[in-house]
Chain A
Amino acid sequence: MSADQDLKIVFTGPMGAGKTTAIRAISDIPPICTEVANSDRVTHAKDSTTVGMDYGQLQLSDGAIVRLYGTPGQARFAFMWEILSRGAIGVILLIDGSTATALEDLGSYAETFRRIIPGQPFVIGVGRTAGDDGRELDKYAQALADREILAPVFGVDIRNREDVLLLIETLLCIFEVQVTEPAYAAS
């Protein structure tokens, strides 16, 4: 990866999954946020919610800049999902593992974003999981496999910078493999 590369990554997932928090945890610049008061306390009890986008930047050791875009979570903002996904090299999908709809959310967001940016890699970060044995995460991997979507699944604490960086590094690794192999095949 060279310094002249400008990489765009999209963070998505349902309301309250931690998209804004994740970008805040790793951005090198003060993140741009569009949070407003949340009037839908039925879906999530939090005070504020993103209605436009989040934006942050992360500089890699080789000088490349990763541009981080966070989407609103609610389906009524689906038009922003498409706008923000233009030109993205991959998607980090965050799921709140403590919610009753976690597996359903995983399936619906993965399928939707698979359609919005087909062929680009996914990495899944599941937060607030019960315990840290791998069996908990197996359910999520299986839910993806059932939809024939191949993506690594990590249990994360999205407030933790190292955890969020793990998701990004994994996504970049998959992306590099994808862009490298065609060149290898052609030579």
Chain B
Amino acid sequence: MQPVSLPFPPQVVAAAQGSLQEFVDANSEVQLAVLTSGDGFEVAAHPRDLPAAQRLAAMSSSLQALSEAIVREAGLGRARNLIIESDGGTIVVLGIAATSVTAVTGRRGVGQRDTGPPPLGLTRLRRIPGAQLRRFDFASKSITSATEHKGHSYGNGKRVPQGSAAR
């Protein structure tokens, strides 16, 4: 079968890693985060050497796509974010244009496998062209602020705040 890792341009990966770091810094509850392409490739991860990042990236894109499908089926327009609440924490998949961020919050050790994905929140950023990486309030399950990324590839470094982006 095919190799799993796809070489995104180094500057794209660096920008994505920077954006993801900002997201993690702004969300102290987040233990893991993966920024993925729409088709499930890891672009950036927190922590950087997260062993499960590639698997989480693939699963995130499936969840994202299924969310889109059911929202479409229900005639509700386009899907935005997906929240999965579990015994040990919360997983959030944040749709960001054609990419997504999956963030995981929570406490380790709540009936979780040692080798599996950590139990907390997982937020995934989908496509970054024109994407938004947002502050996610895990207590209220609401997005409390937003930062707009503009560009035609994963976080090309130009971050243009938009007047309507917050809330």
What are the interface flags for B100-135 relative to A under an 8 Å C-beta threshold, 1 for contact and 0 otherwise? 000000000000000000000000000100000000
* Contact A77/B66 with A15-B2, A32-B73, A43-B2 known, Cβ cut-off 8 Å: no
Segment of B20-28, B33-41, B158-166 in the binding face: B33-41
A77 with B40: in contact, given A32-B73, A52-B66 (CB under 8 Å)? yes
B65, A36: Cβ atoms closer than 8 Å: yes
For residue A50, which residue of chain B has the nearest CB?
B65
Interface band, chain B: 20 to 34
Q: How far is the CB of B64 from chain A (nearest CB, A)?
A: 8
Q: Is the CB of A76 within 8 A of B68?
A: no
B98 near A37 (CB under 8 angstroms)?
Answer: yes
Complex: chain A residue closest to B37, CB-CB: A39
Q: A37-B98, A38-B39 are in contact. Are A76 and B4 (CB under 8 A)?
A: yes
A151 within 8 A of B: no
Partner of A76 from B40, B73, B98 at Cβ < 8 Å: B40
Interface of B, helix, strand, loop or mixed by DSSP: helix
- Docked CA distance A175–B59 (Å): 32
Contacting residue for B39 out of A51, A79, A108, CB 8 A: A51
A49 to B40, CA, bound (A): 10
Expressed in whole angstroms, the Cα–Cα distance for A152 and B54 within the complex equals 35
Q: How far is the CB of A157 from chain B (nearest CB, A)?
A: 25
Docked Cα-Cα span, A41 to B11, in Å, equals 19
Interface string of A1-32 (1 = CB under 8 A from B): 00000000000001100000000000000001
Nearest Cβ in chain A — how far from B2, in angstroms?
A: 5
Q: A36-B39, A39-B38, A40-B41 are in contact. Are A51 and B1 (CB under 8 A)?
A: no
Please give 12 more A-B residue pairs, beta carbons under 8 A apart, in addition to A38-B39, A53-B62, A74-B1: A14-B1, A33-B69, A34-B69, A36-B64, A37-B127, A51-B39, A51-B64, A52-B65, A74-B2, A74-B40, A75-B4, A77-B62
